[in-house]
């Protein structure tokens, strides 16, 4: 896990001071080592910060080159199948000077070209410079676990793990007003946008080729929704086996590995799998709680820790900690970002980083196994609106009766639709899902942003949902696909990456191994819905008190810590108010008011 950056300039030389400033600004991502590379013509330079996890020797130093010095790489992340790829490359005649996964990626590119990304299993963002043809190749992992931002103004091309690194350069930092408007719909700035017009995010599962022009291509997608021929019993076995296989591969490291344990189903499952692996002895687990009992899950985390005999450590986040959260959110994310669980994620990362360098976590289970409460809301709304209960080829009644009734802990759906969800009625597809997930409603945004209201009078607030909504899928799968292609990487994984790397901690997510994602997607939607198949797979693995408990999201009790306010005539509470406060703090700290 590391921080990477680079700079290419066509009109004048890249200087070492610029690279050093970029590199130092994201020092937290890799406090163990730093490195630089300048091409012979000084048109391109790389910077690198290292958090040493695999091959702790100087041989793992980056930027790294191949045998003849024609290729140079900076790499952030982990490739879990690198031992197998390394053996294949050695058999093909490649010579290795380290035992790092980075060198495997470099030789893989030398052997397979851009197709190397399809061979990698892991989380990554990397850049490779080909000195022979002056081509820069960049790629990001399939699910967007690791970030990669870039800037291009026809003369200067720069990239970095975090926006703050790019902002050390002399760049055009004009705001993207559409990104501000989008932020108040999604509570994050959607990919490929950032808050700045000329800084973009490379989308997950994409690679880019820059040689004076920039070309971006997709290399992976989920295409096998609901196609599995397995019986439900065999599917449960496959899910359990893949959980243990994915977790085992994510434990590869030359330093101790711990686990982030919330007490929910997903993190508990990962803890169970990690504790069963032979390389792990005295597994350390870490949990965060709150000073408001109804929001704290520490008692459930303790049950799991006791069951699997982990060395368990906890910390409480209080309202007093919340008072400094706004400034921390701005420092972490470099642009408006309003996920309220960013604060506890930072707190648990700091706790874990006091004892280990690497942890595994349960992120991804809700997206891959349809665990969010909003999916239940969708189903109930459809029930209320039609007596037929049909969900294309899927029947709501089948979902509810067969997927939910075996598990008493699954939330009841009756009464979930509130007055705030009335705008769902009469909408279909992407419009309904957009209305379901937005926190700041369309009628509120002109009041909050009067200076932008005219510019975005006819704007499609749900363009991001619409971009990925698939009418060829049943609605449960369609919602999952949208979440995986949007919310997962722009919110959940962004939150985890920035918060953990701020503490110099690597977080790995076995439930986002692409083999796991493809397996889950292939199962019938009614088995995925509310993690039905996952619960069946974990019978006998997890305690019943964990297996059957109601879902509780990992978030700070914002509603309890602040009172609703009226902003420019718009009454805001909870996540909407938090979004406004984050935005105002960002604007005051970073830029003059427009």
Q: What is the 3-state secondary structure (H, E, C) of 346-396?
A: HHHHHHHHCCCCEEECCCCHHHHCCCCHHHHHHHHHHHHHCCCCEECCEEH
Catalytic annotation on 2? yes
Prediction pTM value: 0.93
Is pLDDT of 392 > 50?
no
| Torsion angles phi and psi, residue 221, rounded to 5 | -155, 165
Q: Where are the beta strands (DSSP E) in 186-320?
A: 199-201, 206-210, 214-218, 257-260, 284-290, 311-317
State which H helix or E strand residue 76 sits in.
strand 71-79
Q: What angle do CA 131, 206, 59 make, to 5 degrees?
A: 50
Is pLDDT of 220 > 90?
yes
Q: Give 157-188 pLDDT, tens digit per residue.
A: 999 999 999 999 999 999 999 999 999 999 99
Ordered by where they begin, the domains of the chain are: 2-218 (3.60.20.10), 232-368+487-558 (3.40.50.620)
Question: What pLDDT does residue 589 have?
Answer: 79
Provide the 8-state DSSP code for 539: B
- Beta strands at 257-260 and 284-290: parallel, antiparallel or unpaired: parallel
- Mean of pLDDT values over 12-30: 95
User: From CA 410, how far away is CA 407, in angstroms rounded?
Assistant: 6
- Are the C-beta atoms of 11 and 49 separated by less than 8 Å? no
| Torsion angles phi and psi, residue 516, rounded to 5 | -65, -45
Q: Give 471-512 pLDDT, tens digit per residue.
A: 999 999 999 999 999 999 999 999 999 999 999 999 999 999
User: From CA 100, how far away is CA 252, in angstroms rounded?
Assistant: 11
Of 560, 575, 556, the residue nearest 296 (C-alpha): 556
Highest mean pLDDT (candidates 39-43, 341-345, 587-591): 39-43
| Torsion angles phi and psi, residue 259, rounded to 5 | -145, 140
Question: What pLDDT does residue 330 have?
Answer: 83
User: From CA 349, how far away is CA 438, in angstroms rounded?
Assistant: 28
Is pLDDT of 256 > 80?
yes
Counting Cβ atoms within 10 Å, is residue 61 exposed (0-12), middle (13-18) or buried (19+)? middle
CA–CA distance from 91 to each of 84, 85, 86, 94 (Å)?
11, 10, 9, 7
Q: Give 22-37 pLDDT, tens digit per residue.
A: 999 999 999 999 999 9
- Beta strands at 135-140 and 122-130: parallel, antiparallel or unpaired: antiparallel
Q: Which range, of 84-98, 152-166, 287-301, averages the lowest pLDDT?
A: 287-301
Question: What pLDDT does residue 408 have?
Answer: 38
CA–CA distance from 307 to each of 304, 310, 544, 545 (Å)?
5, 8, 11, 11
CA–CA distance from 562 to each of 180, 186, 322, 437, 574 (Å)?
24, 21, 10, 22, 8
* Catalytic pick among 1, 2, 189, 473: 2
Is pLDDT of 592 > 50?
no
pLDDT tier at 559, thresholds 50, 70, 90: low
State which H helix or E strand residue 522 sits in.
helix 514-522
Question: What pLDDT does residue 394 have?
Answer: 46
User: From CA 234, how far away is CA 527, in angstroms rounded?
Assistant: 12
User: From CA 465, how far away is CA 148, in angstroms rounded?
Assistant: 22
CA–CA distance from 281 to each of 286, 354, 437 (Å)?
16, 18, 42
Of 376, 288, 340, 281, the residue nearest 561 (C-alpha): 340
SS (H, E, C) 406-467: CCCCCCCCCCCCCHHHHHHCCCCHHHHHHHHHCCCCCCCHHHHCHHHHCCCCCCCCCHHHHH
Task: Give the ranges where 128-264 is alpha helix by DSSP (H).
Answer: 163-166, 177-186, 232-249
State which H helix or E strand residue 525 sits in.
helix 525-528
- Among all chains, which residue has been given the structure tokens 């669980």? 341
- Are the C-beta atoms of 300 and 546 separated by less than 8 Å? yes
Question: What pLDDT does residue 421 have?
Answer: 56
Is pLDDT of 320 > 90?
no
- Among all chains, which residue has been given the structure tokens 């695999």? 54
């Amino acid at each position: 896990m590391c921080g990477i950056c680079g700079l290419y300039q066509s009109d004048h030389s890249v200087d070492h001071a610029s690279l050093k400033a970029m590199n130092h600004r994201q020092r937290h991502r890799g406090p163990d080592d730093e490195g630089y590379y300048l091409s012979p013509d000084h048109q391109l330079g790389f910077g690198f910060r290292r958090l040493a996890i695999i091959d702790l020797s100087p041989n793992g130093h980056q930027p790294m080159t191949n045998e003849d010095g024609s290729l140079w790489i900076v790499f952030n992340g982990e490739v879990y199948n690198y031992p197998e790829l390394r053996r294949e490359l050695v058999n093909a005649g490649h010579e290795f000077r380290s035992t790092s996964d980075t060198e495997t990626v470099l030789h893989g590119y030398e052997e397979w070209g851009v197709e190397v990304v399809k061979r990698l299993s892991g989380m990554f963002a990397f850049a490779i410079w080909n000195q022979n043809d002056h081509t820069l190749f960049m790629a990001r992992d399939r699910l967007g676990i690791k970030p990669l931002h870039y800037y291009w103004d026809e003369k200067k091309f720069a990239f970095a793990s975090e926006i703050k690194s790019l902002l050390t350069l002399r760049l055009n930092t004009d705001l993207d007003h559409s990104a501000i408007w989008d932020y108040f719909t999604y509570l994050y700035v959607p990919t490929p946008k950032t808050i700045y017009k000329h800084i973009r995010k490379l989308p997950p599962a994409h690679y880019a080729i820059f040689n004076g022009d920039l070309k971006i291509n997709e290399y992976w997608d989920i295409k096998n929704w609901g196609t599995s021929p397995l019986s439900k019993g065999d599917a449960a076995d496959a899910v359990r086996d893949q959980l243990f296989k994915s977790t085992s591969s994510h434990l590869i490291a030359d330093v101790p590995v711990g686990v982030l344990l919330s007490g929910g189903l997903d993190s508990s499952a990962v803890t169970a799998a990690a504790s069963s692996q032979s390389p792990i002895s005295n597994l350390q687990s870490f949990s965060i709680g709150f000073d408001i009992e109804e929001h704290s899950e520490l008692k459930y985390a303790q049950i799991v820790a006791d069951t699997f005999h982990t060395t368990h450590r906890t910390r409480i986040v209080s309202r007093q900690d919340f008072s400094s959260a706004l400034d921390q959110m701005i420092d972490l994310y470099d642009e408006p970002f309003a996920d309220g669980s960013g604060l506890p994620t930072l707190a648990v990362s700091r706790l874990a980083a006091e004892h280990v360098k690497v942890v595994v976590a349960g992120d991804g289970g809700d997206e891959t196994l349809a665990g969010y409460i909003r999916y239940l809301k969708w189903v109930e709304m459809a029930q209320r609106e039609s007596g037929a209960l049909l969900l294309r080829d899927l029947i709501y009644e089948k979902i509810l009766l067969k997927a939910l009734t075996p598990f008493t802990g699954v939330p009841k759906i009756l009464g979930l639709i509130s007055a705030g969800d009335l705008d769902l009625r009469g909408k279909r597809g992407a419009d309904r899902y957009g209305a379901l997930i937005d926190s700041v409603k369309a009628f509120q945004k002109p009041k909050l942003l009067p200076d932008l209201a005219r510019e975005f009078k006819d704007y499609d607030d749900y363009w991001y949902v619409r971009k990925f909504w698939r009418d060829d899928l049943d609605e449960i799968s369609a919602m999952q696909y949208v979440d995986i292609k949007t919310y997962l990487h722009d919110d959940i994984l962004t939150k985890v990456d920035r918060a953990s790397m701020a503490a110099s901690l690597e977080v790995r997510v076995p439930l986002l191994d692409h083999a796991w994602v493809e397996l889950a997607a292939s199962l019938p939607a009614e088995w995925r819905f509310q993690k039905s198949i996952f619960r069946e797979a974990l019978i006998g693995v997890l305690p019943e008190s964990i297996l059957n408990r109601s879902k509780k999201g990992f978030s700070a009790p914002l509603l309890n810590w602040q009172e609703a306010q009226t902003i420019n005539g718009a009454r805001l509470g909870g996540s909407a108010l938090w979004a406004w406060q984050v935005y105002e703090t960002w604007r005051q700290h970073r830029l003059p008011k427009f």
